[in-house]
Structure 1
Amino acid sequence: MRVSRRMTWGAAAAVAVVLATTACSGDGGGSETPDGDAVIRIGIAEPQHMIPSNATESAGAQVLAALYTPLVEFDAERKPVEVAAESIESADNVLWTVKLKGGYTFHNGEPVTADSYITAWNHAAYGPNGNGGAYFFGQIEGYDDLQSTDPDGEEGPQKAPEPKAKTLTGLNKVDDLTFTVTLSGPFAEFESVLGYHVFSPLPAAAWASDGVLKEGFEEAPIGNGPFRMKGTWQHDSRIEVERYDAHPGPKPKIGGVVFQIYQQVTTDYADLLAGNNDVTRQVPTESLGSAPTDLGDRFRKSPLSSFQFLAFPTFQPEFARAEVRRAISMAIDRDEIVRTIFKDSQTSARSFVSPLLAGARPDTCGEPCQFDPARAKTDYQAAGGPARLQISYNGDGGHKDWVEATCNQLKNNLGVECASTPEAKFADLLNKVEAKTPVGMFRMGWSMDYPSMQNYLGPIYTTKGSSNYYGFSNAEFDRLVEEGERAPNQEEAIKKYQEAEQILAREMPVIPLRFGQNNYGHSTRVGNVELDAQGQVDLLKIEVTG
């Protein structure tokens, strides 16, 4: 859904960019033959990163879905299906053999080989490179030796020692199209994990030297996907891609995409209505009531795995006590916000895992997620909650209305001051929380990277989780998640994950707020517009029809 899949920014938003279309007038008149060379326009936010192993938010993921073809994708039952992989097999859930399909090339013509994956994954996992997706390689044997710990802590003067190793012992080449992955322990769902874009390959042209990326590669990534970069990343403006005709997989029905970067979701939607944009991935909340009239049958809905929540910096004294966190949760009337702000287009969340997933249960949060303002105030005062609260959010995601409404509820129900503080871009908010800059409570979102409860628990809440921005650490929780990962099958894994979720309900490092759905719109130019459970436009189905 890193939202990604991963952390989600909410909805796209930014400077209006009026671009000439390559085909069709957009007057609503359909043509009998779709234009396979036409370029479409899709609104996104400014990505934080464009290296696959470092891109853990939804805007970057949408672009990477065009540039890279994953080893596996997922069918309607959310089971993995091989795409760039010919097969992925294991007899013991520890030693996995990955065989690649032949015929795949990078956009510069280089063949995609086992080395393309091994080199990219070693770079992704090497701690000093600081990749946001490094956590997902933690199951592979040798990962710990690629990490280093600062002996003085983050603020200490002594430099962290170099890691013991630079490559994962668990990765071994068999031949040009085959490699093996040895895990540090059994993980029955590992094939599903390989559907996440952080496991993408990189070409030899990406490297300045052994394990060192070329400066500027991120501005024009070279992938193995159905589209290739056209020019470079124009920050805060646009990213353009064009069809890569040498791609051996299914061919896109369009000639290219201009990803228009918006800083305000309302501008994205206004451009759609004006004919200057073809797909708005999420209609702004203030337009949900008028969208059926504005767009007619071009206003669409579909299932989405997104989970919206408020996060606590638990390392700060005012939020260190679970009693304070639980009281704040009880002071929020989720149902009223869903009804008045979101026009019932989302669902109140009282658990920590998307209901789309096997093992998800309703109301696992229990009392802390029930609206009880009287008890909330009593408990808050007894726990010594702060007299002033702050909620930080990204201004490019359409969150202003609900954040302000939440702040007003906290003012009225807890008797505190509350300020809502926007950051211009989701990338800016992520950078601040990664640096532990004081921002108060902060809005976060998550969409699945792969369909497993583990993806909603491990990355977000384990002590070493890649997206644990809150400083939450619980040894029992870590143990249960690890035991779930080591379980022999999904059924046994789910039991452990459900036990771990109960700890979240007790400790409340975040406040569950809403589960989302895709509320999107498209222009009269395009048809077959579908958004998946990660909120991404299916670029192989969309076509220009008008």
Structure 2
Amino acid sequence: MNNISRRRRATGAVAVTAAAALVLSACGGGGDNGGDNGEAAQGVEGGGTVSAYNCEPQFLVPGNSTEVCGSWVLDSLFTGLVQTDLDTNEPMPGVAESWDTEDNQTWTFTLGEDWTFHDGEEITAQTFVDTYNWVIDPDNAQQSANFFDNFVGYQEVVDGDAEEMEGVRAVDDYTLEIELTEPFSPLPDMLTYTAFYPMPSVAYEDIDAFEQAPVGNGRYMMDGEWEHDVQIAVERFDDWAGEDPGLPQRIEWRMYTDIETAYLDVQSGNLDILDSAPPNRRATVESDFGENYADFDTSSFTYMGLPLYQEEFQDVDVRHALSMAIDRQAIIDAIFDGAQTPAANIIPPALSDAGEGNCEYCDYDPEAAAELYEEAGGPTDLTIYFNSGAGHEEWVEAVSNQWQQNLGIENVTFESLDFAQYLALHDEQEITGPYRLGWSLSYPSAQYAMEPIYSTGASSNYADYSNEEFDDLINEANAETDPDTAAEMYTEAEAILLEDMPVIPMWFSNYLVVHSDRVDGDSIFMDQATYTHLEDVVVTEE
């Protein structure tokens, strides 16, 4: 198996005059992390082309993308105010060269003066003012609008009492001021998220047309339009103003509905990188690929969600029983060759805020589960949902078999759809039974591990969960300037989730990445958000 190396992201001067931001590390890839990709192997002249598996994105507008398939592409097309240093998981300069704050509530960002969009439009502080106000405008219905809910003036815009947020101000062309409703230490980390990427003026003229060929300011620019269910191709943007440009000249994300087909295509050399090989291939990956594979531990959290808007799942004892009836380790051993970590947390264990032993109902106890389920009047018929073509069929079926065996469930029906359609079904609250979903940290914070999925009304709160005590703890932790005190609050909030169990924790994922002979395996790196950084890949053959 390959040792893993990557280029070190250059870090610029960042002035933070208040308490240190709550920046918590998550696991990265295995192997060695030193060195420079450019030294790992002799790359082809000009950088070459790298192709990678992807699923069909749901959206390609930054403020509307809440899933990995689209956000992975957008990450190459856009650069936000702040980026994440891949070696430390700490915030580092993006468009903003530096930032400072005295109280963690009012923040000043100093922008670089050389940034432009791919069409040549200059990026200024006003660019971010316009973008952020557009994202939160209810008329634009962006899924990530609520990421701005702690910006001063957000609620006034949402309620229709103001056209712009008071808390986002262009002091001059290259000075942006953000004022929050309360102190929020993780702001620089949060600003690395897709929702905060800047958009050019052309986006507002016709957002539907823009989505088919987004004009960004990132390392790569679109080559043609999004070919739905086929591919998205990008070319290196040579005028990118950052310090660490992409290595490949061209990246092609190829859309597959069946991950097995992608695996075989990498094996035959028709595809360069598959970042999530199917679980059933773990036992044969070495014979299939030799040294052309690598394992990465990630923050990726897999769970079985429960639609609390359905009456049969509103009794917490039903939810507890469903969880206790699952033998996670048996499924991991049988299907994943032991490569996943059974989840007894909501917060990834790599983050120090994760509680220890909080999940009383994550232990396998089929007898207690059966008794609890019967007493609570749990449903005897279940429809179980999962996204198709991504290797989930076997383990979801294994869960259903355990439920039938341990809980006396008589009839199970499976509903599987491609990912974009699957999310649309969640958005419309048309899920009627347990569903498979996952969550990865777009920035390394316990706040992000919980708030977007479980806070009342959050865009990714597909369970429709609501608990006032939980919401209050999250808000208090977000406002806390002392990292240790905030960590304690996040842990308390996690304990509430594990008691209420709107989702059943399954495991934290280990990703198996396979690649062709055309690329240098030592240049492949997957971050804690499960993004494989294609901009760092060294192409050795054309």
TM-score by length of 1: 0.89
* Residue 309 of structure 1 pairs with residue 306 of structure 2: no
Picking from 424, 428, 437, the partner of 1:431 is 424
Q: 1:261 to 1:487 in 2, by over 3 A?
A: same
Cα contact 2:50–2:534 (8 A) shared by 1:
no
Greater shift, 535-544 or 338-347, is seen at 535-544
Q: Which runs of 5+ in 1 are unaligned?
A: 1-29, 149-162
Cα contact 1:404–1:420 (8 A) shared by 2:
no
Picking from 64, 72, 81, the partner of 1:54 is 64
Give the aligned residue type for 2:170.
K
* Residue 166 of structure 1 pairs with residue 163 of structure 2: yes
Instruction: Look up the match of 1:257.
Output: 251
Provide the rounded CA distance (Å) in 2 between the counterparts of 1:497 and 1:315.
Answer: 26
Aligned length: 498
Provide the rounded CA distance (Å) in 2 between the counterparts of 1:293 and 1:181.
Answer: 54
Greater shift, 303-312 or 289-298, is seen at 289-298
* Residue 127 of structure 1 pairs with residue 132 of structure 2: no
Deviation digits for residues 110-152 of structure 1 (CA, Å, limit 9, x no counterpart) = 111112211111111123322111121111111112224xxxx
Q: Percent identity?
A: 36
* Residue 458 of structure 1 pairs with residue 455 of structure 2: no
Deviation digits for residues 267-324 of structure 1 (CA, Å, limit 9, x no counterpart) = 1111101111000011111111111221122110122110000111111110011111
Picking from 69, 80, 85, the partner of 2:91 is 80
Cα contact 1:35–1:545 (8 A) shared by 2:
no
Provide the rounded CA distance (Å) in 2 between the counterparts of 1:423 and 1:123.
Answer: 34
Cα contact 2:354–2:494 (8 A) shared by 1:
no
* Residue 344 of structure 1 pairs with residue 338 of structure 2: yes
Provide the rounded CA distance (Å) in 2 between the counterparts of 1:272 and 1:472.
Answer: 41
Instruction: Look up the match of 1:294.
Output: 288
Instruction: Look up the match of 2:220.
Output: 227
Instruction: Look up the match of 2:48.
Output: 38
Instruction: Look up the match of 1:67.
Output: 77
Picking from 490, 498, 503, the partner of 2:496 is 503
Secondary structure of 1:407's counterpart equals helix
Instruction: Look up the match of 1:3.
Output: none
Cα contact 1:394–1:425 (8 A) shared by 2:
yes
Instruction: Look up the match of 2:202.
Output: 205
Give the aligned residue type for 1:181.
I
* Residue 284 of structure 1 pairs with residue 278 of structure 2: yes
Instruction: Look up the match of 1:186.
Output: 183
Provide runs of 4+ in structure 1 moved above 4 Å: 30-33
Q: 1:49 to 1:35 in 2, by over 3 A?
A: same
Instruction: Look up the match of 2:128.
Output: 117
Give the aligned residue type for 1:84.
V
Picking from 323, 327, 344, the partner of 1:329 is 323
Provide the rounded CA distance (Å) in 2 between the counterparts of 1:460 and 1:215.
Answer: 27
Shift of 1:420: 4.9
Shift of 1:222: 0.4
* Residue 539 of structure 1 pairs with residue 534 of structure 2: yes
Secondary structure of 2:435's counterpart equals strand
Deviation digits for residues 381-411 of structure 1 (CA, Å, limit 9, x no counterpart) = 0011111122100003210010000000000
Q: 1:420 to 1:41 in 2, by over 3 A?
A: farther
Shift of 1:32: 4.2
Shift of 1:182: 0.5
Provide the rounded CA distance (Å) in 1 between the counterparts of 2:56 and 2:272.
Answer: 18
Q: Within 5 A, what are the aligned runs for 1:98-117?
A: 98-117=109-128
Cα contact 1:407–1:420 (8 A) shared by 2:
no
Provide the rounded CA distance (Å) in 1 between the counterparts of 2:248 and 2:234.
Answer: 11
TM-score by length of 2: 0.90
Instruction: Look up the match of 1:525.
Output: 518
Secondary structure of 1:116's counterpart equals helix
Give the aligned residue type for 2:395.
W
Instruction: Look up the match of 2:265.
Output: 271
Cα contact 1:36–1:544 (8 A) shared by 2:
no
Shift of 1:33: 4.6
Give the aligned residue type for 2:383.
Q
Give the aligned residue type for 1:534.
A
Give the aligned residue type for 2:514.
G
Shift of 1:465: 1.6
Q: CA RMSD in A?
A: 1.4
Provide the rounded CA distance (Å) in 2 between the counterparts of 1:70 and 1:391.
Answer: 38
Shift of 1:31: 7.9
Provide the rounded CA distance (Å) in 2 between the counterparts of 1:465 and 1:99.
Answer: 31
Q: 1:323 to 1:231 in 2, by over 3 A?
A: same
Give the aligned residue type for 1:188.
S
Deviation digits for residues 58-84 of structure 1 (CA, Å, limit 9, x no counterpart) = 011110111011322333332211222
Cα contact 1:310–1:441 (8 A) shared by 2:
yes
Instruction: Look up the match of 1:175.
Output: 172
Q: 1:539 to 1:103 in 2, by over 3 A?
A: farther
Instruction: Look up the match of 1:11.
Output: none
Give the aligned residue type for 2:88.
E
* Residue 469 of structure 1 pairs with residue 462 of structure 2: yes
Cα contact 1:90–1:97 (8 A) shared by 2:
yes
Provide the rounded CA distance (Å) in 2 between the counterparts of 1:404 and 1:71.
Answer: 43
Picking from 390, 393, 415, the partner of 2:408 is 415
Q: 1:46 to 1:473 in 2, by over 3 A?
A: same
Instruction: Look up the match of 1:491.
Output: 484
Give the aligned residue type for 2:167.
G
Cα contact 1:322–1:508 (8 A) shared by 2:
yes
Provide the rounded CA distance (Å) in 2 between the counterparts of 1:204 and 1:403.
Answer: 45
Secondary structure of 1:290's counterpart equals helix
Provide the rounded CA distance (Å) in 1 between the counterparts of 2:497 and 2:208.
Answer: 41
Instruction: Look up the match of 2:210.
Output: 217
Shift of 1:538: 1.3
Provide the rounded CA distance (Å) in 2 between the counterparts of 1:74 and 1:360.
Answer: 21
